[in-house]
Amino acid sequence: MAALKYSRQRECIREFVLNCQEHPTADTVYAEIKKEFPNISLGTVYRNLSLLVELGEIAKISTGDGPDRFDCNTKPHSHFICTDCHCIQDVELSDIDCIKDLAAPNFDGTILAHTTTFYGVCKHCAEIKNSKKVVDKFTQVC
């Protein structure tokens, strides 16, 4: 690969993702970067995000039913995805590599990597559901 030309836009995209506490979508990155670069296109943001993933500077998380998200943490780790609001949280598990040892005898081949994603309802959405149940119960009584 030829030497990569410096791009101020790409550097701003990279810095935004690296400093973001959440796992932003390309649209979120675009909305933020557009403040500094009003003429930037969504396509440019997508291309730069893809390049940063390819370079290993950020990671891409495919959520399945929603838009891809981007992660500043490129070290192996797991994720929790809320099935209601689609927020993503990092899950640090120290003994997760034992999964490779458990899986290896079940097929012919070599495991190079794996991902673990937990799906469920986050605390915020659970609280909303619980408060709605209380309101529904109260409404039925009245």
Helices (H) and strands (E) in the chain, counts: 5, 5
Residue 40 corresponds to which tokens in the numbers above?
Answer: 């930037």
Residue 69 corresponds to which tokens in the numbers above?
Answer: 């998200």
20 annotated among ligand-binding-site residues: no
142 annotated among ligand-binding-site residues: no
125 annotated among ligand-binding-site residues: yes
Backbone phi and psi for residue 96, each to the nearest 5 degrees, phi listed first = -70, -25
Strands 78-82 and 117-120, by their bridges, are parallel
122 annotated among ligand-binding-site residues: yes
85 annotated among ligand-binding-site residues: yes
Please give the annotated binding residues for Zn(2+), written as ranges: 82, 85, 122, 125
Please give the annotated binding residues for Fe cation, written as ranges: 114
Please give the annotated binding residues, written as ranges: 82, 85, 114, 122, 125
